[in-house]
Amino acid sequence: MMSRTFSGLFLTTVKQSTALVKSGRCHYSKCMTQRNHMRLRWTLSGKVVKPICLCYPLHQASVSQNKSYKHTAEDLHFQILPEQINYILRANEQSHKVPETDGKNRNTVLKFESNILASNTPCEDRRSAATCLQTKGHMFGIFDGHAGSACAQSVSERLFYYIAVSLMSQETLQEIEFATEHMKPVLPILQWHKHKNDYMYREIASLYVDHLRVYWQELIDLDNESGMSITDAMYYAFQRLDSDISLEAQVPTDNEMVKNLTLQIAFSGATACVSHIDGVNLHVANAGDCRAVLGVQDENGVWSAVPLTVDHNALNESEVQRIRCEHPASEEETVVIDQRLLGILMPFRAFGDVRFKWSEELQQSVLKSVCDKEPLNIYQYYPSNYHTPPYLTAKPEITYHKLRPQDKFLVMASDGLWEMLENQEVVRLVAEYLSEIRLLEPQVSIEKRSLGYMHNLLLKRRTKRQSFQDQNIATHLIRHAIGSNEDGEIEQEKLAAMLSLPEDLSRMYRDDITVTVVLFNTNAIETHYRENERE
């Protein structure tokens, strides 16, 4: 976290970086942001002058050798207006309240709020939220891409379907297969809750459906009448989708666009964190370094953060040991170098990234027919010490938690948030936000419901909200992640500077940030336990 003297330290650093950019023809790779530790690899006339902190060596939109940057310190204008700041922060806000049934809300999920703030261009993060229409559970996902956004985009569209069909009974799957076979209306599987800016890969949607159908046909053949448990469904869905991504990149096709897209998806990568909530049953599946944290309030009103995931990276000693044990002793010193897988990749679990999964022979066979390899951005990063693949897996770690009345919310986010804020800070910020929101919402008297009374009440609420910046919890977290000082206070100059950085400098200081906050319905949870006690 940067101190109150941000304008002196941060802006000076930016100006120095800008001056370096100006000094000659140069390009640089994206780097991971760390608190008080920002490193950059510069290539000046082809000469590397400093090592870099990488997630994956080069962004797919690397700068051409023929393009030089023109930014100067004078070009950087940090004094954007508060209205502009809010517009940027709120552009991708999303909020959805679970509808009531029969005038009552017995669902344990009350609502969710989400937001994305990009640093990369295009943004490499993705998010998903959906309701399972056949099994009634709610799913939320955070997907953090690297080496491009292609893999994260694909996984965000597909993974929920793989989980949902895994949960379905054999009878339901047979109904879906019969309808598909006879070209009749198919039972809806998911109700998506999408933001207007979310999009899909329509060009290969039919390919996705074909592979999903093969999967549900195999599930039918398993003769499992009631479907998989949620733990098994998430475990197998992660791996099956990753396998399909790999297969799609290997299958020959005359459609050049489909071929290029499937290769981009397979050669880029994405970490994933997915939660499934059905009643009081909460399951979280995680592969990579996205994170899910539970906000818990005890009977004394004290808040605590309960992590439901662990990061799969070099800071997790059990992950380091797992990878070393999966390869010969001769590779013990090379499988993890400089806290990266084979010295390159920061997350130790991810979708895609076939450069760390396929044999060299398979890679050469698939790529020999590719005319334009530049978008794949692969040859210059061929891993050294590559002897016994696969080195990377999409197998998730799955956590089960039974919701209690003291469990108030779930925060899921990409590592862009967690690099800036600790678990407990995030829970505190959400708790304070919810407390302030309640103060802003005066109770409506049952006795006074005249039109004049309601009009005055609405005016009163509007006046109070004018001093409260965010109506979205995820936005509130993002604002604090990039704009707060060491005392936890929003520093407007810092916030403006972080949002004003040109795209070629932004990645030096922060990552893409994606946040989803799920609020639980305490009344519904308490009702569940009361009814079970009577039984």
CB crowding 185-199: b at 16 or more within 10 Å, else e: eeeebbeebebeebe
Assign 187 to helix, strand or coil: coil
Alpha carbon 26 to chain centroid, angstroms: 31
DSSP 54-109: -SSSS-TTPPPTT------GGG------HHHHHHHHHTT-EEEEPPPBTTB---SE
pLDDT score of 74: 47
Q: Omega before 390 cis (within 30°)?
A: yes
How far from each other are the two terminal CA atoms of the chain, in whole angstroms?
52
**Residue pointed to by tokens 């965000």:** 156
pTM over 0.85: no
For residues 495 and 478, the answer to whether their CB atoms sit within 8 Å is no
Q: How far is residue 325's CA from residue 342's CA, in Å, rounded to a whole number? A: 15
For residues 420 and 35, the answer to whether their CB atoms sit within 8 Å is yes
Q: How far is residue 298's CA from residue 180's CA, in Å, rounded to a whole number? A: 50
pLDDT score of 488: 85
Q: How far is residue 140's CA from residue 481's CA, in Å, rounded to a whole number? A: 21
Dihedrals φ, ψ of 5, to 5°?
-85, 35
| 376 burial type by CB count under 10 A (0-12 exposed, 13-18 middle, 19+ buried) | buried
Q: From the CB of residue 476, how many other CB atoms can be counted at a distance below 10 Å?
A: 24
pLDDT score of 414: 98
For residues 77 and 510, the answer to whether their CB atoms sit within 8 Å is no
pLDDT score of 198: 84
Nearest Cα residue to 85 out of 417, 492, 521, 432: 492
Dihedrals φ, ψ of 77, to 5°?
-110, 110
CB crowding 399-424: b at 16 or more within 10 Å, else e: bebebebbbbbbbbbbbbbbbbbebe
DSSP 257-317: HHHHHHHHHHHSEEEEEEEEEETTEEEEEEESS-EEEEEEE-TTS-EEEEE-----STT-H
pLDDT score of 369: 75
Residues of the chain with pLDDT under 70: 1-78, 101-105, 371-382, 438-450, 452-468, 534-535
